[in-house]
A and B are shown apart, each in its own frame.
Chain A
Amino acid sequence: MKVIEVTNLIKIYNESEVKVNALNGIDLGIEEGEFTAIVGPSGSGKTTFLNMLGGLDMPTAGEIRVGGTDICGLSSSQLIDFRLRNIGFVFQAYNLIPVLTAIENVEFIMQLQGTPKQERETRAKELLHQVGLGDRMNSRPAKLSGGQQQRVAVARALASKPKFVLADEPTANLDSKSTENLLDMMEELNRKEQVTFIFSTHDQRVVHKARRVITLEDGLVISDERK
């Protein structure tokens, strides 16, 4: 079943002054359980595309359906709620609330969803164990390495039981060992728990972990390979 369906997606920035055609008509479908990498040179539109999928920004034209809902038709506050219930996010940096511990960060999103305390705690612990941070649950982000922080971010993204997880260059700030660890962990979650991941990257080592690789150039899909 398709979780995401994108038709003729166009994004033009700065429509009033100098126009930047970031996306020039993308048609794409993402199936449940996919482990997809979006690649392409800098400025090719990866971030723009992921932001559209995540409902963080509005396209100039085209349609994005997530689980059947046309998200372009939602108001900005409906979108916030939609993101909360349907999409997990892992950003390149600034993922965590610095004043909260790892476990509190994971619980935070569940609290936004209104999950009861008991359930929150159990799930947060479980997820942190899964991402290999069972022993660092009470550390604040500043006390964790970059790789560990990204793992907490993945756990946080999964905590809300989203339909899919979007990750824009999640390994950009990591060394190669942490990069590999994070990707292995994501892949395992994808295999064992059928979590749908869509991530962008520049890193070749990350690219060949993906089972589907979509290449963008100048805001267009120039290749779409499945392994």
Chain B
Amino acid sequence: MIKVEHLSKHFGKVKAVDGISFDVKEHENLVLLGTSGCGKTTTLKMLNRLIEPTHGKIFINNKNILEQQPEILRRGIGYVLQNNGLFPHYTVGENIAIVPQLLNWDKKKIQHRVSELLEKLHLSKAYFNVYPNELSGGQQQRVGLARALVADPPVLLMDEPFGALDNVTKSKIHAEFKVLDELKKKTIIMVTHDVQEAFELGDRICLMDAGKIVQQGTPADLLFKPKNKFVEDFLKEQRLQLEFKAIKPPQPPEGGTLRLNGVVLSRDVSMWWVMEQFKFKGSESLSIYDDQDREIEKLGFEDLMSAFYQYKQQQTHE
């Protein structure tokens, strides 16, 4: 869906982005990960032409975006800024309604859509007429997200959307983020320098350093098959937690489901997530159902742990 080829951006002598290429499939969530100043924001901004590339090509839906009119292109791409960039002189409602207004939606439709989003993002209706400076940082982030989502663009670019949050709020928003139906059908490129966040939210990760992509792949690829010392070092901290996040519980057969307390789970939940459920929700087992809706296996904590070690063994021996 998004294809980036040999993309570079030079600011004078500084090679902020230096010949990177990557693909993002439809409905995939790609994370650009790296230390401060490695060129993540610059890369992201080139995708909606806030910055014009020095070299390289960008295709979205097989169309070269450098040949499109920037304003029109941008209205079809949701963008969440590194520091939210809400209009201080617009109310929350007006902020969210900016793009629909640009697209000339009628008033009722805008009103309806804005209320719908406020609700989905757990923002009370009372905030509709409030100005951004009266909101907490987390609430502002959500408004920023709502503003990017409102016109239902197929592509969403997010620059450290949860950057300014404390860890507790962050993991709460992460959880909400993962289950938000609005995001399920979107192709997302998300920038972060937080490794845990990348592992939690990313289907695939591009690890960047000094304008180049050092390695790209699934979280498990990076963790268990690091290309070089840089990647290894980058993931060294809290490695165990990362491993739990990178590894999935045993998967059901084709057509089957994973269930926790009878509730069907998404196929891509991590081991970490299941463990958390065990701990906080008091569940004791994860059930695997086949395509006939028959329970074929019931896994307790011990079973999961041994599955985890088995998987790890397998990865490192490969």
Instruction: Tell me whether A and B are bound partners.
Output: no
